[in-house]
Amino acid sequence: MDSLRQSPSPCSSRPSSPRTPPCEMPASVGIEAVLDQLKIKAMKMGFEFNVMVVGQSGLGKSTMVNTLFKSKVWKSTLPGLGVPTPQTLQLHSVTHVIEEKGLKLKLTVTDTPGFGDQINNDKCWEPILSYINEQYEQYLQEEILITRQRHIPDTRVHCCVYFVPPTGHCLRPLDIEFLQRLCRTVNVVPVIARADSLTIEEREAFRSRIQKDLKSHCIDVYPQKRFDEDANDRILNSKIRERIPFAVVGADQEHLVNGRCVLGRKTNWGIIEVENMAHCEFPLLRDLLIRSHLQDLKDITHNIHYENYRVVRLNESHQLPRGPGWVNLAPMNLAHASAGQLTSPRTSKACKQAQEEPKYDF
Amino acid sequence: MSKQQPAQFINPETPGYVGFANLPNQVHRKSVKKGFEFTLMVVGESGLGKSTLINSLFLTDLYPERIIPGAAEKIERTVQIEASTVEIEERGVKLRLTVVDTPGYGDAINCRDCFKTIISYIDEQFERYLHDESGLNRRHIIDNRVHCCFYFISPFGHGLKPLDVAFMKAIHNKVNIVPVIAKADTLTLKERERLKKRILDEIEEHNIKIYHLPDAESDEDEDFKEQTRLLKASIPFSVVGSNQLIEAKGKKVRGRLYPWGVVEVENPEHNDFLKLRTMLITHMQDLQEVTQDLHYENFRSERLKRGGRKVENEDMNKDQILLEKEAELRRMQEMIARMQAQMQLQMQGGDGDSGALGHHV
């Protein structure tokens, strides 16, 4: 009986002697297992990544894509053999599924032959802009359906790699016009193409001049400063921002150097190794696009660029009468959007951000 | 008498030797005294290494205070013509070299008008020479006509761009075109061969008349013939320019230093710089001759046929004249119709009462 009275009951109102509170119990809950579940799901679903390469012909865009993904994404039609420069800008998409360590990547590369090749290149960016907006439109259409697919196929352009010719002087008027317009709609990563024509000093001088030009024309290339989420991001991204635009060289042939097989270009005076940081900055580009920032590129495209587009579109179709060309957006969804009830939770934060941004015209 | 005359000119040492074989030496001496004039035009997009190549070719610094304009300034610029003259002397022979640069070519987004300035410059020089030649005092005619045009083709393309084709077709009847592939150190040997072949095919396809080296005469020595053959086979020349001295294999050479090696400018295995220089030097005279005999004469005959009026004005005049004539015809027809009507009315008025309103002519 004494023993009963001495042992404190959990329901008594008397202050009980200190016991170990539940959060310090040695056994863990097992939240880390969620990460594994995500990974398994991701492996099953696979990833999608859409890249667009823009630049004048001959700057090595196709070779660069092949080098980046180490697979012949483009069939090796030797340039110049029977493939004439198209008279107008065309857009040409190729989709491949690449697999590495059980993870599937559905890669779509859109090429833009004919960009900047004509005598009169006025408005040559318009087909590109309309293609990008078309992809946003397609996604929007899928998203506002009443019965939606479980996984909306994502054809939106996640990243646009812009190839700057290595003149060594500065950006050309065409480059400036294009970059200004496209940076508002898509993530743009400018690179100095065919950088093996510049010595190291010329490269640095060219890079600093380009950075100056970009700043003076308010061109915000990826990684954009204003989307840095925390201090870690900022440190990482500033390092990248210092080196933008990367001076890259592409090669899809292998040569033997010091007993190793490397990708490179063989010339009479030496072999340019593509993956050697002392020779060119291709590893930086590859790491940015694939190893470290692929998901970030997709997130920014989805949360910011796509949301901007969506807000503008929804506002437009709400105000203007629904003419023949307009998409028939179902009134129920419109009411939802205007009443502040967003269709999915992930869009709420980004939408607020998007509304704070000034409206861009595209 | 006739026997005595040749006796006067015979060199006492060699029988039958008249002595006019000495004439080339006299010409040589006179031209050395006079010096040579040569005008070279360089055309190409900015950033292709034109200035560097010219400096390397002539071992000078033609652009000491060069400021490369920024992107904002480039947007507003149109094509300009900048001529710089330099006097080079080598072993007593003076060369007055004028290099005509064309900054702004190919920079704009819309390049439709970028070669108008260049063509009008070339025509102006021809015009001036024609004027001087037809003048009274022809002693000191300065020859500023463009003798040769180096057209720089970008090595980054797959051949000729539409702008290249359009420009070359516009000037191939006015000036000797020498196509040059710039920044050739970007290309491997195979790529270079492929590009050269492609450019030659496109030149033929579009009927562009580039400068063709004259074949070596059959009496020249074998070396010269071989050299000419090599030169001809290498057109268009793929060149690299540099004036920096780099240490390579123990000696100082002009070249470009890369992390993966040194590109030597004067190494024939690396690029065609030496071939271009040889071609220019050995054929300078020929280039001047072709300019004089072919391009200038074409220009002159066109000009004199037109009789002093410019072509555009002539077309406009024709149209204007036609319109004016038509307007005149119409006016005359109206006048005739009015006069006829008046005459009829007069006759009727004469028959009937004169209640008709007084008509004025």
**In-domain check, residue A337:** no
| Assigned token pair, B230 | 């090599």
pLDDT at site A10: 47
B150 Cα distance to chain centroid = 8
pLDDT of A330 over the 70 cut? no
Tell me how far apart the alpha carbons of residues A267 and B250 are, in angstroms, rounded to a whole number.
Answer: 21
Quote ipTM for the complex. Answer: 0.70
**In-domain check, residue A60:** yes
Query: How large is the average pLDDT for residues A239-265?
Result: 86
pLDDT of A116 over the 70 cut? yes
pLDDT of A123 over the 50 cut? yes
Whole-angstrom CA distances from A19 to A8, A12, A13, A22, B301 are 11, 14, 15, 9, 113
Query: Which one, of A290, A248, A298, lies nearest residue A98 by Cα?
Result: A290
What is the overall mean pLDDT for chain A?
Answer: 77
Contact A80 B198 (CB under 8 A): yes
What is the three-class DSSP state of A303?
A: helix
The nearest CA of chain B is from the CA of A157 a distance in Å of 25
How is B93-124 classified by DSSP, letter by letter?
EEEEEEEEE-TTTTTSSB-TTTTHHHHHHHHH
pLDDT at site B2: 43
The nearest CA of chain B is from the CA of A271 a distance in Å of 6
Q: Nearest by CB to B70, from A213, A269, A272: name it.
A: A213
**In-domain check, residue A334:** no
Query: How large is the average pLDDT for residues A19-38?
Result: 69
Query: How large is the average pLDDT for residues A72-87?
Result: 49
Query: Which one, of B32, B292, B257, lies nearest residue B176 by Cα?
Result: B292
Q: Nearest by CB to B109, from A169, A174, A270: name it.
A: A174
On the question of a cis peptide bond just before residue A8, with omega within 30 degrees of 0, the verdict is no
Contact B185 A213 (CB under 8 A): no
- Chain B residue with Cα closest to A56: B157
Binding-face residues of A in 196-215 toward B, CB within 8 A: 196-197, 199-200, 209, 212-213
Phi/psi for B152 (5° steps) reads -90, 120
Contact B155 A197 (CB under 8 A): yes
Q: A81 or A138, which is more confident?
A: A138
Fold entry, domain B23-239+271-310: Rossmann fold (3.40.50)
A58 touches chain B (CB under 8 A): yes
Query: Could you report the per-residue pLDDT of A153-208, keeping only the tens digit for each?
Result: 888 999 999 999 998 888 888 889 999 999 989 999 999 999 988 889 999 999 99
User: How many structural domains are present in chain A?
Assistant: 1
Poorest-pLDDT segment among A143-147, A358-362, B70-74: A358-362
- Chain B residue with Cα closest to A123: B109
Q: Nearest by CB to B257, from A121, A199, A213: name it.
A: A199
Report residue A90's pLDDT band, with 50, 70 and 90 as the boundaries.
Answer: confident
pLDDT at site B175: 92
Query: How large is the average pLDDT for residues A264-287?
Result: 87
Most confident region among A117-121, A219-223, B200-204, B315-319 by mean pLDDT: B200-204
Contact A85 B158 (CB under 8 A): yes
Q: A156 or A347, which is more confident?
A: A156
What is the three-class DSSP state of B85?
A: strand
pLDDT of A59 over the 60 cut? yes
pLDDT in tens, chain B (361 residues): 444 444 444 455 666 777 777 777 887 777 777 778 889 999 998 888 888 888 888 877 766 656 666 666 666 667 888 888 888 877 777 888 889 988 888 888 888 888 888 999 999 999 888 888 888 878 777 888 899 999 999 998 888 888 889 999 989 999 999 999 989 888 888 889 999 999 999 999 999 988 888 887 777 778 888 888 888 888 899 999 888 888 877 888 888 888 888 888 888 888 889 999 888 888 888 888 888 888 888 888 888 888 755 555 445 567 777 887 888 888 888 888 888 888 888 888 765 544 444 444 4
**In-domain check, residue A300:** yes
**In-domain check, residue A165:** yes
pLDDT at site A338: 35
**Which domain range does residue A69 map to?**
40-78+86-114+122-316
Whole-angstrom CA distances from B163 to A66, A119, A165, B123, B151 are 29, 5, 17, 20, 12
A59 touches chain B (CB under 8 A): yes
Kind and range of the H or E element at B276?
helix B273-282
CATH number at residue A200: 3.40.50.300
Tell me how far apart the alpha carbons of residues B340 and A65 are, in angstroms, rounded to a whole number.
Answer: 84
**In-domain check, residue A25:** no
What is the three-class DSSP state of A166?
A: coil
Handedness of CA B11, B15, B21, B25 (dihedral sign): negative
Is the separation of the CB atoms in A110 and A157 below 8 Å?
Answer: yes
pLDDT at site A64: 86
Extents of the domains making up chain B:
23-239+271-310
Binding-face residues of A in 89-118 toward B, CB within 8 A: 117-118
pTM as predicted: 0.74
Query: How large is the average pLDDT for residues A58-64?
Result: 86
Contact A172 B157 (CB under 8 A): no
**In-domain check, residue A339:** no
**In-domain check, residue A243:** yes
